[in-house]
Amino acid sequence: MILTARLLLPISSPPIVDGGLLIRDGTICAIDKASALIRDFATEPHDDLGRAALLPGLVNAHTHLELTGLHGRLPLGKSFTEWAIAMLDLRSGLDDEFFAASARLGAATLLRSGVTCVADVTASGASVVPLKAAGLRGIIFQEILGPHPEQAPERLDAAEKALRSLQLQANDSLLSIGLSPHAPYSLSESLLLRCAELLRRQRLPATIHVAESPEEVAYIGLGLGPIATTLLPAVGRHSPSHRICGESPIALLDRAGLLSDRLTAVHGVHIGISDLQLLKQRGVALAVCPRSNHYLKVGTAPLPRCLAASLRVGLGTDSLASNETLSLWDEMRFAHRLYGDTVTAQQLVTMTTLGGAAALGMAGSIGSLAPGKRADLTALAIDRVDDADPYESLLAQASDDSVVLNMVEGKILYQREGAARWTCH
């Protein structure tokens, strides 16, 4: 099948106006000008998307889909610790039915917004079924917490059992399974060490919230601040469960053996030069979530510095417990306003495609439109193409509502109602 559009954004190569690609058996076989593809592969079925931009499917590098139903139910704009305590109180009253419904809604929302791959963190396991049913690609990370050192063995045993269950559910899908130690402040040092050993033994991908707030930095480095005095006592922990030695959250993770090229660090708002060097040396990827950081008033991640250091950087929305939408288009536009000229539209679009794929270890198969890669792509209706900066014009026009097509492995998973003037074969 030949698929053509007004604008083709391969990401790994220059944009092509009036471009297209040849797809066979779920694989991209060629990209070129539409006229050249139609000439060279004359017997292939051809579908023209018309006034649309065709690009790789978006990669949401950090979500909690089981929390989608919490939209508007938590205090945004207060302190991180206040939000976290409110989250603990609210979550204690939620049941499996809530998590399942939230995950279904979240998966459907991603599909309609141009996302084809997601890194989702789950405590309940609820996201596997709807993501598998939707046909999306991704990694499901089993969350693990435990601030009490004496609970470390049983918490790890429970996590291993949950991982086995997730793996069984994910069979015959494009989903893989990983582990998510929640954060340096919510796991004892003993449990962090055990997680690191498990990850090495099973060679699993991992993700962790780290260096998200000033409160976290104060607690990890000095054992002080609201996490020590308010948040952890709310779960029965009244003293630090890690060695206090003035180190940063990133340094603690390195000492625990968690930093590796299979880890995606999430947030990274409060990282210094030495932290950045550690992340680079260990090959750690980074997922930034600018709107969540803004709503929780924790600061702004040093994204320009991370990009300049050539880290693998993806963009995530986090959950609707700390954000307004699951739209990566909204996330990109917010980040563009936040960082101004220091982060370009092209860099942001790359972060949500090839950058996110690289962060999840999938850059060899998805994230750009190139021969040999899997046909994971999305198409958006556009009114105009700015030849000088097609990425800027795309961001100015793109929204969830403008997505007309979402495809994974060459199969249409979503096609906007009213956009059926073409039928992909």
Is residue 246 exposed (0-12), middle (13-18) or buried (19+ Cβ within 10 Å)?
exposed
> What's the CA gap between 174 and 184, in Å, rounded?
30
Query: Same CATH fold, 58-359 and 2-56+367-415?
Result: no
Q: How confident is the model at residue 417 (pLDDT cuts 50, 70, 90)?
A: confident
The whole-angstrom separation of Cα 17 and Cα 24 is 22
Residue found by looking up tokens 């141009």 in the block: 114
* 372 backbone dihedrals φ, ψ, rounded to 5°: 100, -15
Question: CA 179, CA 159: separation in Å to the nearest integer?
Answer: 8
DSSP type of residue 372: T
Would the pLDDT of 73 be above 70?
A: yes
Domain boundary assignment for the chain: 2-56+367-415, 58-359
Q: What is the pLDDT of residue 42?
A: 96
CATH entry, 58-359, from 3.40.630.30, 3.20.20.140, 4.10.520.10, 2.40.50.140: 3.20.20.140
Rounded percentage of the chain residues whose pLDDT exceeds 70: 98
pLDDT by residue (tens digit) across 107-153? 999 999 999 999 999 999 999 999 999 999 999 999 999 999 999 99
Give the dihedral sign, CA 27/203/195/256: negative
Number of other CB atoms surrounding residue 346 within 10 Å: 17
Note the pLDDT of residue 26: 98
pLDDT digits (tens, 9 = 90+) for 25-41: 999 999 999 999 999 99
- Rounded to 10°, the helix 328-339/390-397 angle is 120
Mean pLDDT for the chain overall: 96
pLDDT, tens digit, 9 for 90 and up, residues 225-255:
999 999 999 999 999 999 999 999 999 999 9
Give the confidence band of 423 by pLDDT, cuts at 50, 70, 90.
Answer: very low
Burial 267-304 (b: 16+ CB within 10 A, else e): bbbbbeeebbebbeebebbbbbbbbbbbbbebbebbbe
Burial state string for 359-381 with b = 16 or more CB within 10 A and e = fewer than 16 = bbbbbeebbbbbeebbbbbbbbb
In one-letter notation, the amino acid at residue 215 is E
Residue 64 has pLDDT above 70, yes or no: yes
**Mean pLDDT confidence for 85-92:** 94
pLDDT score of 11: 98
**Token pair 């979550």: residue:** 91
The CATH number, out of the four listed (1.10.10.10, 3.30.43.10, 2.30.40.10, 1.10.1380.10), of the domain defined by the range 2-56+367-415: 2.30.40.10
What pLDDT does 75 receive?
A: 81
Four-point Cα dihedral 123, 127, 129, 131, nearest 10: -150
